[in-house]
C-alpha cells in the first residue's frame, strides 16, 4: 500500500524486491517495499540487523552488483532501475549523496582528504583550485579546524568523528537533493554520535535536503526524523509520523523496539528486549515473519502474510489492525 504522506515524491520506490542467488535458489532480501520521500523530508528507516534496511537503501544507488532488483525506483520522475551506468554515476555523488557506517571503509587510505572530497567536482571538470576551495569550505562548515591544512592530511590522521565529517563533506560536495545516511553514528562513541547527528541535522536543514537515515536505534531518531519506517525481515512493518508512532505504536514489533529504548522522562526501569532473534533471509518463517517472536500472535499469523493497512496516520502490517482490531488480546 502506498503511503499517502507524500504529495510529490522526490524519491518514489514502489514494489521494490531485492534478491540474491542462494544455494537452493533466489533468496529475497527485500520484499515488495514501498517508500516515498518529498524534497526536504526527513525519514528514518529502522530495524534490527538483517532486516534489509541497508540493502534497500543501497539499492537506490544500485551499489551491490550481485543482487537482482525488480519494481520501480524513481528519482525526480526518472526511473533508476532502467538507467545506464553513466546516468547512475551522475546520480551517485550528484543528486544523491551517501554516508556509510564505517568512514574508514569509505575513504582511500592512500589519498589526501582534499583530493577525496573534491573528486566529484574534479570528475565534472571543475578546476582543481576551485574544487579544493569548495572542499575546504565544507570542512569549515562541518567543524573541522584548520581545514586548509587538513586537506593535505590522510584518513589515518583523523579521529573517527572527524572521518565521519569528511565522509559527510564527500556526500555534500555534489549538492545532492537527497542524502542517504546508513548507520552514520554506529561506529562512534556515544558523545561523538550526538555531535555527528546534530551536525547532520544542521547541514541538512540549512540546505533543505531530504534525508533517509538508516539506523537500528529508534531512540536516536526521535529528535531527527519526521517520519519513521520500521522494517522487519525485508518487509515494511509500520510507517508513521514520529509522534503517533512513539505515542502509540501500531505494530507489535515497533512496540518491542520502543520498549528497548531508555527513557529519561521515566523512573529507572528494566529495559525489555524482544525475545528471540530475527530470521535470516533464507529461513524466514511462513505467514508474518515476526510471529515466532510476537507475544500477541493469533493462529493465522503463522500462515498468512499480513497486508499493510491504512491507519489514521500511516500504515502498518499486522493481522490485529483494521478489521481485526477487536480480536487483539
Ligand atoms: Fe504479531 Fe500476528 Fe501482527 Fe505478526 S501479524 S505482528 S505475528 S499479531
Write out the chain's pLDDT in tens, 329 residues: 445 566 679 999 999 999 999 998 999 999 999 999 999 999 999 999 889 999 999 999 999 989 999 999 999 999 999 999 989 988 988 899 998 877 677 788 999 999 999 998 998 899 999 999 999 999 999 989 899 999 999 999 998 888 888 999 999 999 999 999 998 877 677 777 778 888 888 889 999 999 999 998 887 788 889 999 999 999 999 999 999 999 999 999 999 999 887 665 666 566 678 888 999 999 999 999 999 999 999 999 999 999 999 998 899 999 999 655 544 43
Q: What is the pLDDT of residue 130?
A: 96
Q: Hey, which bits of the chain come out as E strands?
A: 11-22, 25-37, 42-46, 67-75, 78-79, 96-99, 178-182, 210-215, 227-232, 235-241, 309-310, 315-316
d(CA 224, CA 266): 21
Q: Residue 249: CB within 6 Å of ligand 1?
A: no
CA of 1 to the centre of ligand 1 (A): 18
CB contact at 8 A, 240 and 228: yes
Q: Residue 13: CB within 6 Å of ligand 1?
A: no
Among the listed residues 43, 69, 75, 41, the one whose alpha carbon sits nearest the alpha carbon of residue 56: 69
| Residues in a beta bridge with 241 | 227
CA of 293 to the centre of ligand 1 (A): 9
Q: Residue 288: CB within 6 Å of ligand 1?
A: yes
Q: Residue 309: CB within 6 Å of ligand 1?
A: no
CA of 292 to the centre of ligand 1 (A): 9
Any domain includes 5: yes
d(CA 212, CA 297): 31
Any domain includes 287: yes
Q: What is the pLDDT of residue 105?
A: 75
Q: What is the pLDDT of residue 326?
A: 42
Q: Residue 296: CB within 6 Å of ligand 1?
A: yes
Q: Residue 293: CB within 6 Å of ligand 1?
A: no
Any domain includes 241: yes
CB contact at 8 A, 290 and 234: no
Q: Residue 320: CB within 6 Å of ligand 1?
A: yes
Q: What is the pLDDT of residue 223?
A: 82
d(CA 229, CA 46): 6
* Grid cell for residue 189: 562513541
Q: Residue 301: CB within 6 Å of ligand 1?
A: yes
CA of 320 to the centre of ligand 1 (A): 7
Q: Residue 136: CB within 6 Å of ligand 1?
A: no
Any domain includes 164: no
Any domain includes 150: no
CA of 255 to the centre of ligand 1 (A): 12
Contacts of 148 (CB under 8 A, 6+ apart): 136
Q: Residue 316: CB within 6 Å of ligand 1?
A: no
Q: What is the CATH number of the domain that holds 66?
A: 3.40.50.300
Query: Which pTM does this prediction carry?
Result: 0.89
CA of 145 to the centre of ligand 1 (A): 51
Q: What is the pLDDT of residue 265?
A: 61
Q: What is the pLDDT of residue 269?
A: 60
Q: Which domain holds residue 90?
A: 1-95+211-262+271-314
Number of domains in the chain: 1
Q: Residue 306: CB within 6 Å of ligand 1?
A: yes
Among the listed residues 170, 158, 182, the one whose alpha carbon sits nearest the alpha carbon of residue 109: 158
Any domain includes 245: yes
CA of 179 to the centre of ligand 1 (A): 33
Any domain includes 326: no
Amino acid at each position: 500500500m502506498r503511503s499517502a504522506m507524500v504529495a510529490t515524491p522526490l524519491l518514489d520506490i514502489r514494489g521494490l524486491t531485492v534478491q540474491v542467488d542462494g544455494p537452493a535458489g533466489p533468496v529475497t532480501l527485500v520484499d515488495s517495499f514501498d517508500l516515498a520521500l518529498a524534497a526536504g523530508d526527513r525519514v528514518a528507516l529502522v530495524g534490527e540487523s538483517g532486516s534489509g534496511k541497508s540493502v534497500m537503501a543501497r539499492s537506490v544507488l544500485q551499489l551491490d552488483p550481485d543482487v537482482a532488483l525488480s519494481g520501480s525506483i524513481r528519482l525526480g520522475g526518472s526511473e533508476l532501475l532502467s538507467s545506464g551506468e553513466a546516468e547512475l554515476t551522475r546520480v551517485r555523488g550528484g543528486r544523491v549523496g551517501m554516508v556509510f557506517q564505517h568512514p574508514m571503509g569509505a575513504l582511500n587510505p592512500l589519498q589526501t582528504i582534499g583530493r577525496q572530497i573534491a573528486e566529484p567536482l574534479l570528475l565534472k571538470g571543475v578546476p582543481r583550485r576551485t574544487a579544493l576551495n569548495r572542499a575546504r569550505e565544507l570542512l569549515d562548515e562541518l567543524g573541522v579546524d584548520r581545514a586548509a591544512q587538513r586537506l593535505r592530511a590522510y584518513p589515518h590522521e583523523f579521529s573517527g568523528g572527524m572521518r565521519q565529517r569528511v565522509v559527510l563533506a564527500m556526500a555534500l560536495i555534489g549538492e545532492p537533493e537527497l542524502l542517504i545516511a546508513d548507520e552514520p553514528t554506529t561506529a562512534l562513541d556515544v558523545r561523538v554520535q550526538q555531535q555527528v547527528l546534530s551536525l547532520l541535522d544542521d547541514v541538512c536543514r540549512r540546505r533543505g535536503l531530504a534525508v533517509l537515515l538508516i539506523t537500528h536505534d529508534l531512540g536516536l531518531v526521535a529528535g531527527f526524523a519526521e517520519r519513521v519506517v520500521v522494517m522487519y525481515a525485508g518487509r515494511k512493518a509500520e510507517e508513521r509520523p514520529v509522534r503517533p508512532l512513539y505515542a502509540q505504536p501500531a505494530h507489535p514489533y515497533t512496540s518491542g523496539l520502543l520498549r528497548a529504548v531508555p527513557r529519561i522522562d521515566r523512573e529507572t526501569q528494566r529495559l525489555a528486549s524482544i525475545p528471540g532473534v530475527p530470521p535470516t533471509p533464507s529461513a524466514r518463517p511462513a505467514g508474518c515473519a515476526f510471529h515466532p517472536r510476537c507475544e500477541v500472535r493469533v493462529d493465522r499469523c503463522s500462515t498468512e502474510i499480513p497486508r499493510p493497512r491504512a491507519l489514521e496516520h500511516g500504515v502498518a502490517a499486522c493481522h490485529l489492525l483494521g478489521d481485526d482490531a477487536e480480536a487483539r488480546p
